[in-house]
Amino acid sequence: MNYWLVKSEPSAYSWDDFVKQGVGVWDGVRNYQARNNMQAMKVGDLVFFYHSNEGLEVVGLAKVVKEAYQDPTTEDTRWVVVEMTAVEKFPKTVTLKQMKADERLSDLALVRQSRLSVTPVKPEEFDIIIGLAHEG
DNA sequence: GCCAACGTTGGC
DNA sequence: GCCAACGTTGGC
């Protein structure tokens, strides 16, 4: 079991949009590192859903329901999508500010590589963020 | 709206 | 294969 974090601008695709859809197809990724991370995702992996540009916070948890396959929005065979479904909307969102301020999360890929849209999360980081999401 | 960080492109 | 120019992302 691996853990991940994906970013989305809520004006384009928010957590609520994702929940409404039921199963969200994560398309449009055009970055090799993000693509490699998506290809490493397995069914059942847990994924934080982060709002970029607005909100700047982790809003909920999703899980992978279908592993990487060719992105249907392009002919270009380099790119893939994964499918995810919502698991839980967090009682308390976890803000970027909180995560940056937490020494235990100083190595978080989201913090270190702020432009990467799909990043891995270590199991210990996952536990810390889940903790913050439930008791603040 | 600005700008730093970073990825991509194309000329050489 | 280097690197300057340019485009994009995303925090501030």
d(CA A96, CA A6): 13
Look up the CATH number of the domain holding residue A86. 3.10.590.10
Cα torsion A24, A80, A11, A111 to 10°: value is 110
pLDDT digits (tens, 9 = 90+) for A9-63: 999 999 999 999 999 999 999 999 999 999 999 999 999 999 999 999 999 999 9
As a whole-number percent, the residues of chain A with pLDDT over 90 amount to 94
User: What's the confidence (pLDDT) of residue A135?
Assistant: 83
* Number of domains observed in the structure of chain A: 1
**pLDDT tens-digit series, residues A70-94:** 999 988 889 999 999 999 999 999 9
- Measure, in angstroms, how far nucleotide C9 C1' is from residue A27 CA: 17
Q: For position A110, what pLDDT does the model report?
A: 96
Full residue range of the structural domain in which residue A99 is found: 3-135
Instruction: Say how far A117 CA is from B7 C1', in Å.
Output: 13
Q: Position A6: which residue type?
A: V
